[in-house]
Chain A
């Protein structure tokens, strides 16, 4: 029928699932470890990078985005992209008002 793309009946192996689970656990410990060290603004960057990586693992493997249709990937991407628009574009107002409004900029 309309727009019919044969969906994948791909069965991911339990081994793959276990490794993803293990990786997520390791990354959780890692994020806690890095947080113990004062890296200034890099703390945030590392924490978000690790969180982002964990999210990608969940998305690709647990949520099967790796084997999903282009439509699914596009939908998920659009959601995150729109969140980025909301965050970034709103913050441009605050970023251009000076450090008194956002002291973190002064650091």
Chain B
């Protein structure tokens, strides 16, 4: 793929990887990190922030599951429960799921994968991290003062008029956070258009880049709408303006239209990057080029575009016209098609591939299965008649957790495990990482599959108590959540351990194909030793010399 030598940066006998200058040891001191323009350091900064918010969101999840162990509300008051599930949603959606893969993996890898020295706008990139944290501060401020109880969906007029919680600061926190995402999206689009290496045409790009590009399109076109919507909520609440409050002549359905115009495409912001990761993982660990590369690339853009035309399926029961609802329902089925196409293509890639079950591959395989379930149940709830029954039940909760946790988080973890050696030059222990992957998979299914059944049988969501006949399934779900929690916690330990004690990874521990594997682990500050020139399509695993390439160091993980 690269006209430079196979490993132009192979260490000489005299020097080791860690002695050579790379982006981690190029400069020391806290300010060299806080004022960095290096996209890789910014990615690490994001890794820290995003992980912190994920931990916080998980605590709220744990509280929810503990409360739901028993049919009565006995762990906390009903009002408190409302705040708990709201903060869980707000933090997980806006401060974890949306930024995680783009801001951590995207930031780190995008310039390297296209052979560039950095993103197009490095200062904007750093600014986006600060803006993210500023948004976080507003939200945390609201949290310590008791949080918000409106649900992460902020439906009016409850959020604008009746709730007596800290809606404005939370809304402003999300508003500010939105700019962080917009800056990242802008940066990615410009970078992919203008800074590709010589010879790197669009159809030679890795599919991860196509996914990040499609995601960025959604970000740029959709995020401003949630921004203005939340601004209006804050203005209405602060100034008593009647935009969404029917008491003042306003329209709550208008809020829902504006909110979901963004929030539906937002779920594609969450899943598209993850799908991009899966494409990379499947190719690398089946040692085969992705089946139907162009179709997968077009499917990414197709999902991005179609995703803007389906938002009304969140509003089937709230008073939309029957005709609009029907159109939204039909289009929602249509948007499932490109996603399904990708699943078929990944499966076809696996067929007759040379599969190895390293940790990243375990996550990728888990993704394919779980996303399929999540996606199919998505088609079920896109069906108008069915949704009337299951709307606002645990069926919906299970559906979106299958795609967001079984989908997005599996992709995120798979990507972290795949590129960790590249980012830090260290391997993590293989047994523990595979164990974690297994725990995540088992724990996840035990947590959320019962919820499909609960929802179908009629258990409503956002309720703090339930009829006793639902208890068994709820207990199973909480048990699953505990297992899932262990699966999520373990990586914190072995990743941290690996930074100091992990086996040093070579440039290409997986024997994979891609520009990122043609530079050192960790890479130098400007990413490469020689400017890459691209002369071949991606995923050249079928090439003789690559196909037989064994992993440079056989990692146990």
Contact = CB atoms under 8 A, between A and B. Distances in A.
B309 A89 contact: yes
Interface string A1-20: 11100000000000000000
Nearest to B222: A82
A37 interface: no
Nearest to A90: B257
Given A82-B308, A86-B225, A93-B320, A3 B327 contact: no
B195 interface: yes
Nearest to A78: B221
Contact of A2 (B198, B261, B308): B198
Contact of B194 (A2, A79, A94, A96): A2
B194 A97 contact: no
A80 to B, nearest CB: 11
B196 A85 contact: no
A36 interface: no
A104 interface: no
B324 A92 contact: yes
B323 A92 contact: yes
A4 to B, nearest CB: 8
A90 B315 CA distance: 12
A33 interface: no
Q: Is the interface of A mostly helix, strand, loop or mixed?
A: helix
The residue among A2, A82, A92 with the most chain B CB atoms within 10 A of its own CB is: A2
A90 B323 CA distance: 12
Interface residues on B, range: 20 to 34
Contacts of A93: 253, 257, 312, 320-321, 324
A1 to B, nearest CB: 7
Given A2-B198, A92-B323, A85 B257 contact: no
Interface in B160-209: 193-198, 200
A2 B327 contact: no
B198 A1 contact: yes
Nearest to A86: B261
B327 to A, nearest CB: 7
Contact of B321 (A1, A79, A82, A96): A96
A105 interface: no
Of B221, B309, B327, chain A has the most CB atoms within 10 Å of the CB of B221
Contacts of A97: 321
A2 B312 contact: no
B214 to A, nearest CB: 13
Interface string A39-70: 00000000000000000000000000000000
A14 B254 CA distance: 46
A2 B257 contact: no
Interface string B257-275: 1100100000000000000
Given A2-B197, A2-B200, A90 B321 contact: no
Interface of A: 1-3, 71, 78-79, 82, 85-86, 89-90, 92-94, 96-97
Given A3-B193, A90-B258, 15 more contacts: A1-B195, A2-B114, A2-B194, A2-B195, A3-B196, A79-B221, A82-B221, A86-B261, A90-B261, A92-B321, A93-B312, A93-B320, A93-B324, A94-B321, A96-B322
6 contacts: A2-B197, A2-B198, A3-B194, A90-B261, A93-B312, A93-B321
**Across chains A and B, which 4 residue pairs bring their CB atoms closest together, nearest first?**
A2-B196, A93-B324, A96-B321, A96-B323
